């Protein structure tokens, strides 16, 4: 039942002493949360209570949270396009639901233009902040503006809206929220409150109240979320209210109400959640919590759950407020004697021992059960009957949580006399213990510290070897100088009989010392020194020949300048000193030689620049035209693909405004196999001159399966075209699938260079139009020849970029499935993962953190794949890397250091072959250094960053367009970006040389400094249990955010000079230059086209294989190779259909603060 009418002033109760309440988030399909995290911290420091929802939040998510939380304002960042539709949809939804008073603030860097800002503010958005506002005001002053505007709106509302009767109703979330605020603010007259308390007691007497408390960091929110998911699934009609309490900051009076971010179950309309601050010190509950609970019980909820803030040992306040108290703890409580001091072990009806995958958890379970029995003098009770349940709530579908849930229902039913029929869930409890997914065996978790230790050891060994080589040479030269007739060949030893020369003690001593010095040298050092003269001759002669597999490569060693000077392609050291030479050979070496510091190949590839042709906008057809525009006349097609945010988050195009606005913006829209065929049509994906890079992570396995099928179907198409009869039969089959003639097609004319390859089998899989044997043969050939890279790096997504969509464990498992499929099917020329630092840098990391986190992620993948039983040389060559290049000095050497560390670890730790030792990486110039102010200057920064990359012998390079700070690049800006590389590669004289950094003192010093800094970071990560352990404590994410904040403060206070941004500003125009640029947005027609295409595909294909999604789910449940099944599933299902099918068996990603 609902409460009786009451008088509540319209958000009534806000006074100057009342904290403002903000909901903060990043928009739908947007993982850029660095800025909003900075903003919500400052908002909180200003005394506000902040309900932070994190990234990728729909308008429904944000508005519903604002209603339930009775928020005064919403602060939202939107960097991924579609902002006009998103903000307008939010304003409309707030008004429709009676919350038009909630102020909406936003920002999106330069992606939201001044014209769009004016349009949105006229529509009802309170304020959108542009980068110029941040530069004028500063970060703190900008947030002060947000606070003052919100406070003014609250005050106006309180003055202008007289108290009005409001009836709280379970189906009216805004009225429930208003009543909770009135209780929290002590706004109800005492007499009215006394009357309401009586009504609440009568109306809600039978609703059980479940309370969860525990220490901070025990995982209470995750446990609550997992319980909610199980309650909702087991009891289809249950309505649940959740009250979550977080502490108020003593200094500022603000509070971070962070429980909501962790809960995926809140999408259900059957769950109401309200976050509350304690608003008092040293307490885990709010003083008004009792009244809030009673009120919610009166609203006909079937269950009320209360989660407290983190508590200490002696805190048991929750016991007096709830019917069934639960204590959530971990094994990290100290010595067993500490258990005697924990009050809640006396009072809890049930104990959850969470994070059972941590070290010492088994011992903790034994000790906690003993303590529970001691507290109740139940010494004879069997352990399995003690209500202490181990769980891993962070793990999807954990059997420990399910067993605990079943027992929680049983114990609550028995204690509170609840109806058996309503509290007996039908759940599978065959498995009762948590199943920790061990990705890296316990005996190898120190892998990073060991790599650092080994790396330092190698450096120390090289120094000793160089010293020994110098000594040996000094003795050898001295022996020659004094005319020793028996002197051996350099680095050969004197035989034993020659060491003592009768009558010449000095000669004997010199010979002995020489032998001793040579004996200190390893066989590798001696070989390097002996082979050097021949290698020196090879790179200084007119021509050089070397062999790659079965092919002999002949290379000219010089290019001639306009001044008729011969410029060496590879310039070797000229030193004659054995020690200096050996130090160079063991620390650097020439390009193409271990440890590959100077580059992994002896020479750059002739006739193929490392330029990546980057595109991604609108429909597949539009991006296909851009690819052909960029590659026209080129010897090779190196296509790099950006996907729109709808695709990046594994969803299909749809008409809902917050999705609709993002279709085809900031990337290409791909939802089906047909879309993929159109995207790469006209490019022979099996040709050695074609390679494709796909920047996608969360749904990468699905998109990769579409790509592989596209390549296979191209070759099926070639086979069909060899004989007209084959093609006619296939065409008849396709026509029969589309009897209405509504056959999928490429919209618009084909661009120059597109011969239509790949379009012949739109609407059908090649498997359907050839016999099984032919298809298998074509598939085998294609998989062995296709070239390219898919990013698919889920570790960095969790740490930085936030396009995770599946639970981390399941996503990693699918990464391993892809690589296992590559091993099984001999996929040698396609990289299964691009281990990415670029997005770590874009999130705010400095170059050392970017490099250290990226390499540590790479070594984690290596350890995981080894633990799965793969051999190092079967998968290491399929790994590639992706770095950002900024303006910092450390970027000069990022590739050199990465290659050296990787090669040494591969050889010394893993015993890998030379091919596996070669770290190959792609560089993209920094997106963070693209500024919306004076955008013409961006090309200058990009040019300098491209110089860093090319001089360091990156394997491929993408130069950003100058206007990307504001819009998707235009053809003009992309042409300029490509021209930067072409000018460096073909005009800049120093780039005739291919090892220009080698021999530079400052580059050598930077290399050593950065290498040591990376080793220190490895050790810091290792101390936290390796990469996965550090991710659990959000170490990487926290460090990235700190470094981002440091950069932003230095940018805003001017101590980091940025030309045209905070210094060297134009004297006219008020210090700003307004530049008219063409905004690239997908059109209404293009968005509608993509929505229609998905519907057409579904109508034609879904019925052909109705069981394909069930087979996919079964494969995932049985822990068989998911990618193998995805190769079939994508033939009949869209991206969104497959993503949602996998959520049910692999779990959705749970956000972190």
- Token representation of residue 1145: 């068996």
Distances (CA, A) of 804 to 31, 79, 138, 221, 812: 9, 17, 32, 19, 11
**1152 is known to lie in a ligand binding site:** yes
Long-range contacts of 32-36 (CB under 8 A, 24+ apart): 32/77, 32/79, 32/80, 32/802, 32/843, 33/77, 33/802, 34/843, 34/844, 34/1040, 34/1041, 34/1044, 35/77, 35/79, 35/107, 35/109, 36/75, 36/76, 36/77
**787 is known to lie in a ligand binding site:** yes
* Residue 611 backbone dihedrals phi, psi, to 5 degrees: -65, 130
Query: 595: cis peptide before it, omega within 30°?
Result: yes
**219 is known to lie in a ligand binding site:** yes
**781 is known to lie in a ligand binding site:** no
- Token representation of residue 1045: 């904040």
**915 is known to lie in a ligand binding site:** yes
Task: Find out whether 51 and 257 touch, Cβ atoms under 8 Å.
Answer: yes
**354 is known to lie in a ligand binding site:** yes
**308 is known to lie in a ligand binding site:** yes
**489 is known to lie in a ligand binding site:** no
Distances (CA, A) of 207 to 181, 271, 418, 420: 22, 15, 9, 15
**607 is known to lie in a ligand binding site:** no
**237 is known to lie in a ligand binding site:** no
Burial 705-715 (b: 16+ CB within 10 A, else e): bbbbbbbbbbb
Crossing angle, helix 523-540 and helix 447-481, to 10 degrees? 70
| Sequence-ordered list of residues with C-beta below 8 angstroms from that of 892, at least 6 positions apart, any chain | 948, 952, 997, 1003, 1006
Pairing of strands 6-8, 164-166: antiparallel
Cα-trace Rg, the chain: 33
- Token representation of residue 616: 């991604």
**807 is known to lie in a ligand binding site:** no
**274 is known to lie in a ligand binding site:** no
* Residue 677 backbone dihedrals phi, psi, to 5 degrees: -65, -40
Give the whole-angstrom CA distance, residue 616 versus residue 622. Answer: 8
Give the whole-angstrom CA distance, residue 293 versus residue 415. Answer: 19
Q: Residue 693: beta bridge partners? A: 640, 789
CA-based nearest residue to 716, from 784, 773, 637: 773
What are the E-state strand segments in 116-172?
127-129, 164-166
**307 is known to lie in a ligand binding site:** yes
Task: Find out whether 524 and 468 touch, Cβ atoms under 8 Å.
Answer: no
| Residue whose pair of structure tokens reads 């525990």 in the numeric block | 214
| Residue whose pair of structure tokens reads 């296909």 in the numeric block | 624
**355 is known to lie in a ligand binding site:** yes
Q: What does DSSP assign to residue 504?
A: -
- DSSP SS3 for 618: strand
- Which helix (H) or strand (E) covers residue 700, if one does? helix 700-721
Q: What does DSSP assign to residue 318?
A: G
- Alpha helix ranges (H) inside 590-699: 620-631, 645-648, 657-660, 673-679
- Token representation of residue 961: 């367009």
**478 is known to lie in a ligand binding site:** no
Give the whole-angstrom CA distance, residue 852 versus residue 1017. Answer: 6
- Alpha helix ranges (H) inside 357-499: 361-375, 399-416, 447-481
**710 is known to lie in a ligand binding site:** no
Give the whole-angstrom CA distance, residue 813 versus residue 796. Answer: 15
CA-based nearest residue to 1115, from 1126, 1106, 1105, 1104: 1126
The answer to whether the Cα torsion of 578, 579, 585, 588 is positive or negative is negative
The answer to whether the Cα torsion of 336, 340, 342, 346 is positive or negative is positive
Binding-site annotation, residues for adenosylcob(III)alamin: 32
Binding-site annotation, residues for GTP: 217-222, 262, 354-357, 1152
Binding-site annotation, residues for Mg(2+): 221, 245-246, 259, 307-308
Binding-site annotation, residues: 32, 217-222, 245-246, 259, 262, 307-308, 354-357, 638, 787, 831, 880, 915, 920, 1152
Binding-site annotation, residues for substrate: 638, 787, 831, 880, 915, 920
């Amino acid at each position: 039942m609902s409460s009786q009418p009451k008088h509540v002033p319209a958000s009534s109760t806000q006074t100057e002493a009342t904290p403002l309440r903000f909901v903060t988030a990043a928009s739908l399909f947007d993982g850029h949360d660095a800025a909003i995290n900075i903003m919500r911290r400052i908002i909180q420091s200003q005394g506000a209570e902040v309900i932070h929802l994190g990234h990728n939040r729909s308008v429904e998510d944000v508005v519903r949270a604002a209603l339930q939380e009775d928020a005064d304002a919403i602060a939202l960042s939107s960097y991924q396009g579609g902002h006009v539709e998103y903000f307008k949809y939010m304003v409309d939804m707030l008004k429709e639901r009676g919350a038009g008073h909630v102020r909406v603030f936003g920002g999106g860097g330069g992606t939201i233009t001044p014209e769009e800002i004016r349009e949105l503010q006229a529509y009802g958005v309170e304020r959108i902040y542009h980068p110029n506002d941040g530069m004028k005001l500063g970060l703190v002053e900008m947030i002060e503006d947000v606070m003052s505007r919100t406070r003014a709106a609250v005050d106006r509302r309180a003055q202008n809206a007289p108290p009005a009767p409001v009836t709280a109703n379970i189906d009216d979330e805004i009225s429930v929220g208003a009543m909770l605020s009135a209780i929290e603010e002590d706004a109800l007259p005492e007499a009215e409150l006394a009357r309401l308390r009586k009504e609440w007691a009568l109306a809600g007497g039978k609703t059980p109240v479940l309370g969860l408390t525990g220490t901070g960091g025990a995982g209470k929110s995750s446990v609550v979320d997992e319980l909610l998911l199980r309650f909702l699934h087991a009891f289809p009609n249950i309505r649940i209210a959740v009250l979550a309490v977080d502490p108020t900051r003593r200094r500022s009076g603000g509070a971070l109400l962070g429980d909501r971010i962790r809960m995926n179950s809140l999408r259900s309309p059957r769950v109401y959640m309200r976050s509350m601050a304690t608003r008092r010190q040293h307490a885990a509950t709010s003083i008004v919590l009792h009244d809030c609970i009673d009120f919610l019980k009166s609203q006909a909820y079937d269950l009320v759950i209360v989660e407290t803030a983190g508590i200490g040992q002696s805190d048991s306040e929750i016991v007096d407020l709830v019917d069934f108290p639960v204590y959530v703890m971990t094994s990290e409580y100290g010595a067993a004697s500490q258990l005697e001091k924990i009050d809640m072990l006396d009072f809890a009806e049930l104990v959850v021992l969470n994070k059972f995958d941590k070290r010492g958890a088994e011992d903790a379970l034994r000790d906690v059960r003993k303590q529970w029995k001691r507290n109740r003098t139940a010494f004879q009770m069997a352990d399995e009957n003690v209500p202490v349940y181990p769980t891993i709530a962070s793990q999807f579908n954990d059997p420990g949580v399910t067993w605990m849930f079943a027992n929680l229902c049983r114990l609550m039913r028995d204690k509170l006399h609840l109806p058996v029929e309503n509290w007996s869930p039908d759940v599978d409890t065959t498995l009762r213990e948590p199943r920790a997914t061990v990705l890296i065996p316990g005996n190898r978790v120190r892998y990073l510290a060991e790599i650092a230790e080994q790396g330092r050891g190698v450096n120390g060994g090289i120094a000793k070897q160089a010293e020994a080589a110098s000594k040996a040479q000094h003795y050898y030269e001295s022996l020659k100088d004094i005319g020793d007739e028996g002197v051996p060949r350099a680095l050969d030893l004197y035989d034993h009989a020659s060491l003592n020369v009768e009558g010449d003690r000095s000669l004997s001593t010199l010979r002995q010392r020489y032998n001793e010095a040579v004996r200190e040298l390893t066989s590798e050092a001696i070989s390097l020194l002996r082979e050097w003269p021949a290698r020196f001759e090879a790179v200084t002669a007119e021509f050089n020949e070397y062999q790659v597999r079965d092919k002999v490569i002949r290379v000219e060693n010089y290019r001639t300048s306009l001044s008729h000077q011969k410029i060496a392609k590879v310039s070797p050291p000229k030193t004659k000193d054995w020690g200096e030479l050996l130090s160079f050979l063991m620390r650097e070496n020439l390009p193409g030689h271990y440890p590959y510091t100077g580059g992994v190949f002896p020479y750059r590839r002739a006739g193929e620049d490392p330029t990546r042709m980057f595109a991604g906008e609108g429909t597949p057809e539009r991006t296909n035209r851009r690819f052909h525009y960029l590659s026209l006349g080129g010897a090779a097609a190196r296509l790099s693909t950006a996907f729109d945010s709808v695709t990046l988050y594994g969803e299909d195009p749809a008409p809902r405004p917050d999705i609709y606005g993002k279709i085809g913006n900031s990337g290409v829209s791909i939802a089906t196999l047909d879309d993929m065929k159109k995207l790469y049509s006209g490019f022979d994906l099996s040709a050695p001159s074609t390679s494709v890079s796909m920047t996608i992570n969360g749904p990468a396995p699905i998109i990769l399966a579409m790509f592989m099928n596209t390549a296979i179907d191209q070759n099926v198409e070639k086979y069909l075209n060899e004989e007209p009869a084959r093609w006619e039969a296939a065409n008849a089959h396709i026509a029969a699938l589309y009897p209405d003639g509504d056959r999928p097609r490429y919209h618009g004319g084909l661009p120059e260079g597109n011969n239509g390859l790949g379009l012949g089998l739109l609407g059908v899989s090649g498997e359907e139009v050839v016999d099984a044997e032919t298809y298998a043969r074509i598939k085998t050939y294609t998989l062995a020849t296709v070239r390219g890279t898919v990013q698919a790096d889920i570790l960095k997504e969790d740490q930085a970029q936030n396009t995770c969509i599946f639970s981390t464990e399941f996503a990693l498992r699918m990464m391993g499935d892809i690589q296992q499929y590559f091993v099984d099917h001999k996929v040698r020329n396609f990289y299964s993962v691009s281990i990415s630092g670029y997005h770590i840098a874009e999130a705010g990391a400095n170059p050392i953190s970017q490099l250290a986190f990226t390499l540590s992620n790479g070594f984690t993948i290596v350890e995981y794949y080894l633990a799965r039983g793969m051999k190092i040389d079967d998968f290491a060559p399929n790994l590639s890397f992706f770095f950002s290049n900024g303006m910092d000095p450390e970027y000069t050497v990022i590739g050199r250091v990465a290659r050296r560390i990787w090669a040494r670890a591969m050889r010394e730790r893993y015993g890998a072959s030379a091919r596996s030792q070669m770290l190959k990486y792609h560089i993209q110039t920094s997106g963070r250094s693209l500024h919306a102010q004076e955008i013409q200057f961006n090309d200058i920064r990009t040019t300098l960053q491209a110089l860093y990359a090319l001089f360091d012998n990156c394997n491929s390079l993408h130069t950003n367009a100058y206007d990307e700070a504001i819009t998707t690049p235009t053809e003009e800006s992309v042409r300029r970006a490509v021209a930067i590389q072409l000018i460096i590669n073909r005009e800049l004289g120093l780039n005739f040389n291919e090892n220009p950094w080698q021999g530079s003192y400052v580059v050598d010093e930077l290399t050593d400094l950065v290498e040591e800094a990376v080793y220190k970071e490895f050790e810091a990560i290792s101390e936290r249990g390796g990469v996965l352990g550090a991710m659990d404590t959000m170490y990487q994410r926290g460090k990235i955010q700190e470094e981002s904040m440091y950069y932003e403060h230095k940018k805003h206070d001017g101590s980091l000079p940025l030309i045209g941004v905070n210094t060297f500003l134009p004297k006219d125009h008020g210090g700003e230059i307004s530049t008219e640029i063409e905004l690239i947005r997908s059109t209404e027609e293009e968005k509608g086209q993509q929505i229609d295409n998905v519907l057409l595909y579904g109508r034609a294909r879904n019925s052909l294989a109705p069981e394909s999604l069930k087979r996919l789910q079964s494969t995932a449940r049985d822990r068989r190779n998911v990618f193998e099944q995805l190769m079939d599933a994508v033939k009949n299902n869209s991206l969104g259909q497959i993503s949602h099918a996998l959520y049910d068996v692999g779990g959705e990603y749970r956000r972190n603060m």
